[in-house]
Each structure stands twice: as structure tokens, then as C-alpha cells.
Amino acid sequence: MAVKYSKDHEWISVAGDIGTVGISPYAQEQLGDVVFVEVPQAGRKIAKGESVAVVESVKAASDIYSPASGEVIESNAALADSPGDVNADPMGKGWFFKVRLGNPSELDELMDQAAYDAFVKSLS
């Protein structure tokens, strides 16, 4: 499945019933240099739209919202030591957490790449 995006600039890439979540390249550019990331604990039940992580940059601190409901099955612990991965590779090494999807149909409410690109353009 292709990557989907939320209006809060999170992305989710789904394989089977597992979604990997991070922030978009646009979001990391807006934040500037990321200096701290707090990720959710494995086993935590989360709801779509719930604040589940925090990213702090030299400019601001921002909540990261889950684009889907489910249970956190893994967090990217490497971000504690390497928060700059969010800037360097937001769609790869800079992922935040993985969630076992509770309701995959929620993904239908998210944007595909083309819709997200248009959304970002509308912000400037």
C-alpha cells in the first residue's frame, strides 16, 4: 500500500495490518533541527487523532498525532540518541512508531501523495 498522509503532516505506510508512522519531509522542514523525540511505549492503545509522541526542535515542540487507531507494537528507540534522523530521513530511519491497525478503514480518510502535495501547496 502507498503512503498516506494526515492534515497534521504525519505519514503512515501499511504492510498487512501494521502501519509505520512518521512525519512528512514538509513537517521536518517547518520544525528545523530536531533535538529531541519522545515516542510511545509498545503496548499502548491509541486512538486516531490522539497525541502519541512529541518532537522538539530548535524552534518549537510539537505533538505527533496518530493517523490511525490501534496498538503500538514498536517504537523507534534509536531516535533518543539520533533525533536528527527525523531531519535526515523523515520517511525512512526517522520513523516514530509502528501500530497494529484497529480499524484499517480509517486510512480511507487520509490523503495520498498527490492530495498531500496539493494540501502543502495550499499552505504557502
Which residues, at least 6 apart from 85, have a Cβ–Cβ distance to it below 8 Å?
A: 78, 79, 93, 94
Helical (H) or strand (E) element with 36: strand 34-38
On whether the pTM is more than 0.85, the answer is: yes
- For residues 24 and 116, is the Cβ–Cβ distance under 8 A? yes
CATH number of the domain at 4-123, out of 3.40.630.30, 3.30.470.10, 2.40.50.140, 2.40.50.100? 2.40.50.100
Using 50, 70 and 90 to split pLDDT, how confident is the model at 2?
A: confident
pLDDT tens digits for range 5-24: 999 999 999 999 999 999 99
pLDDT tens digits for range 71-107: 999 999 999 999 999 999 999 999 999 999 999 999 9
Give yes or no for residue 111 having a pLDDT over 90: yes
Domain ranges of the chain: 4-123
Residue 63 CA: distances (Å) to CA of 9, 23, 96, 97, 115: 11, 11, 12, 14, 23
Name the residue with cell 539520533.
Answer: 82
Q: In the chain, what is the straight-line distance between the N-terminal and C-terminal CA atoms, in Å? A: 29
pLDDT at residue 24, as a whole number: 98
Beta-bridged to residue 70, according to DSSP, are: 46, 101
Q: What DSSP designation does 40 have? A: P
Kindly report the CA angle at 49 between 67 and 38, in degrees rounded to 5?
80
Give yes or no for residue 124 having a pLDDT over 90: no
pLDDT at residue 1, as a whole number: 57
